[in-house]
Chains A and B, each alone.
Chain A
Amino acid sequence: MKQRFKEWARAYDGDISMKEYLERVVGLPETGERAKEVARHLLKK
């Protein structure tokens, strides 16, 4: 999850926070159910 954040950060030229990234990942239909669970857990933390 954290590794993929680096890709997202590069894609948006660093203009995205970890929280924003996790929120978007949770909202995407392409994201897997287990990945969404992890993202939700990280958001709670």
Chain B
Amino acid sequence: MATTLVVSEKPDAAKRIAESLSDRGQVLRHMKRGVPIYEVSRPSEKVYVCSALGHLYSVDQKRGITRRAHPVWDLTWKPRYLTERSQERLRTWIDQIRQVSREANCFVNACDYDIEGSVIGAMVLKYACNGADRNAKRMKFSTLTTKELQEAYANSSTGLDQTLVNAGMCRHEVDWVYGINLSRALTDSAREHGRVYSTLSTGRVQGPTLRFIVHREEEINCFVPSPYWTIETVIKVGDSTINAQYEKERIDSKSEADKVVADCEGESGTITDIDSRRSKIYPPPPFDLSALQAEAYRHFGLRPSSTLGIAERLYLDALISYPRTSSQKLPPSIEYRKILENLSSLEEYAAKVSVVLSGRGLSPTEGQRSDPAHPAIYPTGNMPHRALEPRERKVYDLIVRRFVATFGDPAIRQSEKVSVSVRGYIFYLKGTRILAGGWTDLYEPYAGFEEIHLPSLRIDQIVDIARIVSAERFTQPPSRFNPSSLLRLMERENIGTKATRADMIDTLYNRGYIVGERMTPTPLALNVIDVLKRYCPKVVETGFTRELEEKMQGIEYGKERKERVLVEAIEHLRPVMAELEARISEVGTELGKTIRETRLAQITLLSPCPQCGSRLVVVRNSRTGKRFIGCTGRWEKNCTFSLPLPQIGALTLSRKSCAKCGFELVIVKAKARRPMISCPMCFMEKRRKQAAQSKQTLDERHGTKDTA
């Protein structure tokens, strides 16, 4: 009897695959040292389904090279427990897969059908299953529904998707070579020549992405506004008043603006033209990952990485299709009618779905972009088997409504533009009215147009200027990036992949390079980019990264060879590293200075010492390890002022003052607890008062005893 081992990407997916492949619905779950392996008996074969935990293998340097050495060009694939200390549990995981693979004589890669999934599965089959990647099969599916999984298993392709595997491996190897060499060079330069240790990182995608943010900050910092004027006009028609727009939206000279106001004030005008147009607004295309992330950020304020995480959970629950897609197309093979009928059993969608189902035919609006592996994101029509968390419910609702809306009719909007002439000056009254909601009714509350209703007007009608003023305005600086707009820019510039862009943004936050929802680069980021721009500008340029992305896509389509692309990337990096190594002392000194300044700023309080006026800083007692607020005037002015601080949790200075005493507040974040905001000065005062009170009580008691 044949024994097949199916390798999936995540434990939840493994469970679902096992349940789908079981004919009688019976699945045996073996829990081997914490690793779930599912066993399914089919008429002619026994199937084991195991899972990876994301990547079980990663790129690392070859043996015999120290962890700080750079440049490093020799690389190899190793189990992740050897490259990351925190991944020790993967040792058992891989061992269990190895054990079960010994029983199998047929292997199937059932990881997500994309670059990462192909690499994860191929590496597990190659290293943990004794080279089984050579004759393994590939399951290709876009949803984890029973029907699709059964079909995918029955139609597994012979041989792995080698072009995808090669493209994925190449991406990992190139990113590793760039990241490890540049990051080590920067960190080491700061440690050796700047005499300060801090993990500084940059990479093939990280460098150009951070440069976008730094470049925008420079634009904002150097921005000088220009004045301009607008004419604000209110026109009276009968009993109602309407805001009107002057023909020029922006007037560049004060005298011209003043003249318009002076000439038109208190005057009457004549309606000279009424232009009324009807336009169709077509439904938006179904979601690809970027569009979903942008829309979720717009409506719910969810970061792209959070949206991706939520969408992946919904996918693992078989509620939506595979989210890491760049497709805006919905092929008929997904069976629109069946999905819509299933969705109609959910009360909140029943009415909207019945509108779509009662229409002429089912034909969704599609976008230009396509993905050879997956369709656009769509709901499978399966019912949730658990109560969704609030954020999951929101994202699911957004996906369902968008899917339903793509089948809607175009919305019909009527726009009116009424021209009013006042002493030769032209003003416009603009109105819009939605005549037919179409898809916007289906996409509520995520779609909607503002309507401005104009009263009935006719040509040659006389209207009065009720109010006219000129307002001085100034041009605005460009706005800072938010996660959504940065993601869009990365996509436009073709750097990173749909799967990695959101994580890259999170890395920038985690490295301390950017802060805030409106991304502001920290002094460290400004300095790192400044150094890289001066000493190795190629690292922060988008040109080479974009070119490399195109070549890696070429591997995916079988047009490029992996080895050639890797060699080219290394040859591009070699002179960059040589240049950086040659000027390592200058680079290190500058970085070291910035890191010290940044750290000092992080521990220095805004409030000065109430005793001597010197700066107050957060310090740690070298003997006891306890932290407290101390005065920098201790040595020069002999000031002994100090304040206690909470000892548990991560401490940050809030940069906000206490409403009671004006001292700077501190924030303490402990694990599994709410952040605590406290004022060290008020705390000290309270403690002093309590001590004085208890002393008084004690004294009174002693006094009473003595008297007795």
Q: Which residues of A line the B interface, CB within 8 A?
A: 1, 4, 7-8, 10-13, 25, 28, 30-35
**Residue ID in chain A nearest B251 by CB atoms:** A11
> Which 8 A/B pairs are nearest by Cβ-Cβ distance?
A32-B221, A34-B221, A30-B225, A32-B223, A4-B224, A11-B227, A7-B226, A35-B224
CB distance from A24 to the nearest CB of B (A): 9
* CB-contact partner of B226 in A11, A32, A34, under 8 A: A11
B253 near A13: Cβ-Cβ < 8 Å:
yes
Q: 23 pairs across A/B with beta carbons < 8 Å?
A: A1-B224, A4-B224, A7-B226, A10-B253, A11-B226, A11-B254, A12-B253, A12-B254, A13-B254, A13-B255, A25-B224, A30-B225, A30-B474, A30-B476, A31-B223, A31-B224, A32-B220, A32-B222, A32-B224, A33-B221, A34-B218, A35-B222, A35-B224
Q: B207-225: contact bitstring with A at CB < 8 Å (1 yes, 0 no)? A: 0000000000011111111
> Inside 8 A of B252's CB, which chain A residues have their CB?
10-11
Q: Contact between A31 and B228 (Cβ–Cβ < 8 Å)?
A: no
B477 CB-CB contact with A under 8 Å? yes
Q: Do A11 and B228 touch (CB < 8 A)?
A: yes
Nearest A residue to B255 via CB reads: A13
Q: Interface 1/0s, chain B 532-576, versus A by CB < 8 A?
A: 000000000000000000000000000000000000000000000
CB interface residues, B 217-244, toward A, < 8 Å:
218-228
Q: Does B475 contact A (CB under 8 A)?
A: yes
Establish whether residues A34 and B222, one from each chain, have CB atoms under 8 Å apart when the complex forms.
yes
Q: Residue of A at shortest CB range from B227?
A: A11
Sorting the interface of chain B by its residue count into under 10, 10 to 19, 20 to 34 or 35 or more gives 10 to 19
A-B contact count (CB 8 A): 48
B241-281 at interface with A (beta carbon < 8 Å): 252-255
B-side contacts of A32, CB under 8 Å: 219-224, 477
Q: Which residues of B contact A10 (CB under 8 A)?
A: 252-253
User: How distant is the Cα of A28 from the Cα of B473 in the complex, in angstroms?
Assistant: 11
Query: Which B640-660 residues sit within 8 Å CB-CB of chain A?
Result: none
Across the interface, which residues of A come within 8 angstroms of B228, CB to CB? 11
Please name all residues of chain A whose beta carbon is closer than 8 Å to the beta carbon of B227 when the two chains form the complex: 8, 11-12
Rounded to whole angstroms, the CA-CA distance of A33 and B477 in the bound complex is 12
- Tell me the complex Cα distance, A31–B223, Å: 6
Q: Which of A1, A8, A11 has the most CB atoms of chain B within a 10 A radius of its CB?
A: A11
List the A side residues contacting B220 at CB < 8 Å.
32
A8 near B223: Cβ-Cβ < 8 Å: no
B555 to chain A, nearest CB (A): 43
Chain A residues whose C-beta falls within 8 Å of the C-beta of B219 in the assembled complex: 32
Chain B residue contacts of A12, Cβ below 8 A: 227, 253-254
Give the residues in chain B near A31, CB-CB below 8 Å: 223-225
With A4-B226, A11-B226 known to touch, is A35 a contact of B221 (CB < 8 Å)? yes
Sample of 15 more A-B contacts, CB < 8 Å, known A11-B252, A32-B223? A4-B224, A4-B226, A8-B226, A8-B227, A10-B252, A11-B227, A11-B253, A12-B254, A13-B253, A28-B474, A30-B223, A31-B223, A31-B225, A34-B222, A35-B223
In the complex the two chains form, what is the Cα distance from A30 to B255 in whole Å? 23
Query: When chains A and B are docked, how far (Å) is the Cα of A12 from the Cα of B224?
Result: 16
Contacts of B475 in A (CB 8 A): 30
For A33, list chain B residues within 8 Å (CB): 221
CB A5 to nearest CB in B, in angstroms, measures 9
User: In the complex, what's the smallest C-beta–C-beta distance from B423 to chain A, in angstroms?
Assistant: 22
CA A4 – CA B666 in complex, angstroms? 43
When C-beta atoms are compared, the residue in chain A nearest to B226 turns out to be A7
Contact residues in A for B255 (Cβ distance below 8 Å): 13
In angstroms, Cα B220 to Cα A32, docked, is: 5
Known: A13-B253, A30-B475. A25 touches B222 (CB 8 A): no
**Which chain B residues in 282-319 approach chain A with CB under 8 Å?**
none
Known: A8-B226, A11-B226. A30 touches B477 (CB 8 A): yes
Q: How far is the CB of A14 from chain B (nearest CB, A)?
A: 10
0/1 per residue, B467-504, Cβ < 8 Å to A?
A: 00000001111000000000000000000000000000
A30 to B473, CA, bound (A): 11
Establish whether residues A28 and B225, one from each chain, have CB atoms under 8 Å apart when the complex forms: yes
Q: Which A residues are CB-close (under 8 A) to B224?
A: 1, 4, 25, 31-32, 35
Distance from A3 Cβ to chain B, minimum over Cβ atoms (Å): 9
Nearest CB on A from B116, distance (A): 41
Instruction: Give chain A nearest CB distance to B75 CB in angstroms.
Output: 42
List B contacts of A11 (CB < 8 A). Answer: 226-228, 252-254
In angstroms, Cα B477 to Cα A4, docked, is: 14
Q: Which residues of A contact B221 (CB under 8 A)?
A: 32-35
- When C-beta atoms are compared, the residue in chain B nearest to A5 turns out to be B224
A34 to chain B, nearest CB (A): 4
Closest residue of chain A to B252, judged by CB?
A11
Docked CA distance A44–B323 (Å): 58
Q: Which chain B residues lie closer than 8 Å to A1 at the CB level?
A: 224
Complex Cα gap A13–B167 (Å)? 62
Contacts of A8 in B (CB 8 A): 226-227
A12 to B222, CA, bound (A): 23
Query: Cα distance A26–B476 when bound, in Å?
Result: 15
**Residue from the set A8, A12, A31 with the largest chain B CB neighbour count within 10 Å:** A31
**Distance in angstroms between the alpha carbons of A13 and B226 in the assembled complex:** 14
Q: Which residues of B contact A28 (CB under 8 A)?
A: 225, 474
Alpha-carbon separation in the docked complex, A13 to B160 (Å): 73
A30 nearest CB across to chain B (Å): 4
Tell me, in angstroms, the Cα distance from A2 to B311 when the chains sit together. 52
Minimum C-beta distance from A6 to chain B (A): 10
- Docked pose: A28 CA to B225 CA in angstroms: 8
What are the residues of chain B within 8 A of A4 when measuring CB–CB? 224, 226
Which residues on A sit within 8 Å (CB–CB) of B253? Answer: 10-13
Give B354-394 as 1s and 0s: 1 = Cβ < 8 Å from A's Cβ atoms.
00000000000000000000000000000000000000000
Q: Which of B219, B225, B228, B474 has the most CB of A within 10 A?
A: B225
Minimal Cβ-Cβ distance residue in A for B475: A30
The answer for the CA separation of A34 and B223 in the assembled complex, in Å, is 8
Residues on A with beta carbons closer than 8 Å to the beta carbon of B254: 11-13
Instruction: Tell which of A1, A10, A28, A32 has the most Cβ of chain B within 10 Å.
Output: A32
- Give the residue name and chain of the B residue nearest to A35 (CB): B224
CB nearest neighbor in A for B257: A11
Query: B452 → chain A, closest Cβ, in Å?
Result: 29
Q: Which residue of A lies closest to B476 (CB)?
A: A30
* Shortest beta-carbon distance from B521 to chain A in Å: 13
